[in-house]
Amino acid sequence: MVNDAFHMSIKSFLLSNKKRTGLIISLILIISGIIPLIIFTFFADPAHPYTITQTTLVTEDYNNIKALIYTPKNMTGTHPGVVIGHGFCGNARHMQALAIEFVKREFVVVNINFRGHGNSDGYLPSFTDPLMINTIELDILAGIQFLQDLGNIDKIGLLGHSMGAMTVLKTADDFTNDINATVVLGMVTGFEAGLRGFIGGNISEISEPNLTRVANLLICNGRLEQMFTPELSLNFLKEYTNLTSVEPETQYGYFEYRNASKVVIGSGEHLFEPLDNHIINESVVWFELAFYGSLRWDITLTAPFLQPSFAIALIGIIAMCFVTLLYLHNYLWKDQPVNLRKNTLKDTSILKLTVFYVLGTGVGVGLLLPFAILFTAALPISMGQLLYAILVGNAIGALLMYYFIIRKTENVGFQTIPSKIKAMCSGNYKRSILYGIIAAALFAVAIACVANWSILITFPTIREYGAIVGMAILFFPWLLIKEFYIRTTQGQLKTNNRFKEYLTMVGIGFIMDSLLLIPTMFFCWRNGPLLGFLALALTVVLIFSFIQQILVTWVYMYSGRNILGSTIFLCIFYAWMMISFYPFGLPFF
Cα atoms found within 13 Å of the Cα of residue 275, Cβ hemisphere only: 18
Cα dihedral 583→585→588→589 (10° resolution): 170
| Rounded CA separation 206/218 (Å) | 23
The residue length of the chain stands at 589
Q: Is-contact 219 236, C-beta < 8 A?
A: yes
The CA–CA distances, whole Å, from 242 to 234, 236, 237, 245, 259 equal 12, 10, 8, 9, 11
E-only strand ranges, 199-320: 217-222, 261-266
Question: Out of 3.40.50.1820, 2.40.70.10, 2.60.120.10, 3.60.70.12, which CATH number does the structure's domain 45-301 have?
Answer: 3.40.50.1820
* DSSP code, position 222: E
Residue spans per domain, the chain: 45-301, 344-581
* DSSP code, position 244: S
Residue 336 CB neighbours (<10 A) = 10
| Rounded CA separation 260/237 (Å) | 11
Q: Is-contact 6 61, C-beta < 8 A?
A: no
| Rounded CA separation 302/309 (Å) | 11
Helix 303-333 and helix 18-42, axial crossing angle in degrees, nearest 10: 150
β-strand 50-58 against 64-72: which pairing, if any?
antiparallel
β-strand 217-222 against 181-185: which pairing, if any?
parallel
pTM comes to 0.91
Residue 285 CB neighbours (<10 A) = 16
Closest CA to 180 of 210, 161, 154: 154
CA-based radius of gyration for the chain: 26
Q: What is the pLDDT along the chain (589 residues), one digit of tens a residue?
A: 555 554 545 545 445 578 889 999 999 999 999 999 999 999 999 999 999 999 999 999 999 999 999 999 988 889 999 999 999 989 999 999 999 999 999 999 999 999 999 989 999 998 878 888 899 999 999 999 999 999 999 999 999 999 999 999 999 999 999 999 999 999 876 555 545 544 445 544 545 666 678 999 999 999 999 888 888 899 889 988 999 999 999 999 999 999 999 999 999 899 999 999 999 999 999 999 999 999 999 999 999 999 899 999 999 999 999 999 999 999 988 867 777 888 778 778 999 999 999 999 999 989 888 888 888 877 888 888 888 999 999 999 999 999 888 876 666 667 788 888 999 998 888 999 999 999 999 999 999 988 887 877 788 888 888 889 999 999 999 999 999 999 999 999 988 899 999 999 999 999 999 999 999 999 988 887 778 888 888 888 898 899 999 999 999 999 999 999 999 999 999 999 888 888 998 776 6
